[in-house]
């Protein structure tokens, strides 16, 4: 996890705090990261040394007299999944901006395959909708048929979103950024007095 991911995840967990308090707390951790980076540690190593982000949030909330049990349990599955999706999308964008065209084409093909899979999920929903339409036509009430179609479409959208989020985050969670240097490193030149 890098600094941006760390601050974003911590902000979600500390959304009960006002911005000034949050900024003070996050600046404390950012100062530690900056200091330790000067000692040649990576952001990931430093943030990992902080421990679990839930423990950090709990410590900060309790420091400010807030019952962390009640606050941290309100973080629900949907919020966490979309936060994870946002982090993965950010990683894909970063990777695509730094990778060569060949790697970017592979990422685009993977995304197109994922979209194709999501569209194939629609087939069973079409069959279910047609079956329901056949049964409901005997009631001779077009409103019920339309409501049935709406329910089936909403279920498909829900399943498609959940499937997309899960597959996308699993496929691209560990995407690699190829840091190929395009320019030669400059050699340092020292001038000595003679």
Average pLDDT estimate for 16-23: 84
Tokens linked to 173? 């969670």
Residue 7's φ and ψ, nearest 5 degrees, are -65, -35
pLDDT-derived band of residue 99, with 50, 70 and 90 as boundaries?
confident
CA distance 66 to 71: 8
CA distance 71 to 57: 10
Residue 191 predicted with pLDDT over 50: no
> Helices (DSSP H) in 99-141: which residue ranges?
101-120, 122-136
Q: What is the pLDDT of residue 9?
A: 81
The single residue listed with the structure tokens 């994870």 is 84
CA distance 67 to 62: 6
For the chain, give the mean pLDDT.
Answer: 81
CA distance 117 to 188: 53
Q: How far is CA 144 from CA 125, 128, 156, in A?
A: 17, 15, 18
Q: 43-73 pLDDT, tens per residue?
A: 888 888 888 888 888 888 888 887 766 655 5
Tokens linked to 114? 């994922």
Q: 119-160 pLDDT, tens per residue?
A: 999 999 999 999 998 888 888 888 898 999 999 999 999 999
CA 109, 111, 113 angle in degrees (round to 5)? 70
Residue 74 predicted with pLDDT over 80: no
Which pTM was predicted? 0.56
Say what percent of the chain tops pLDDT 70.
85
Q: What is the pLDDT of residue 107?
A: 87
């Amino acid at each position: 996890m890098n600094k941006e991911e760390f601050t974003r995840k911590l902000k979600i967990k500390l959304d009960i705090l006002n911005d000034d308090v949050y900024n003070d707390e996050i600046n404390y951790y950012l100062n530690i990261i900056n200091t330790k980076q000067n000692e040649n540690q990576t952001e990931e190593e430093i943030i990992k040394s902080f421990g679990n982000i839930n423990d950090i949030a709990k410590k900060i909330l309790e420091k400010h007299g807030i019952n962390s049990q009640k606050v941290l349990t309100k973080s629900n599955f949907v919020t966490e999944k979309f936060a994870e999706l946002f982090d993965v999308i950010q990683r894909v964008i970063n990777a695509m901006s730094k990778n060569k065209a060949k790697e970017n084409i592979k990422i685009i093909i993977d995304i197109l395959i994922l979209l194709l899979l999501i569209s194939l999920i629609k087939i069973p929903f079409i069959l279910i909708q047609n079956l329901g339409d056949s049964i409901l036509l005997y009631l001779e009430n077009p409103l019920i048929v339309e409501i049935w179609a709406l329910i089936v479409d909403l279920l498909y959208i829900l399943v498609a979103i959940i499937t997309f989020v899960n597959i996308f985050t699993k496929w691209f969670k560990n995407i690699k950024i190829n840091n190929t240097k395009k320019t030669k490193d400059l050699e340092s030149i020292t001038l000595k007095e003679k």
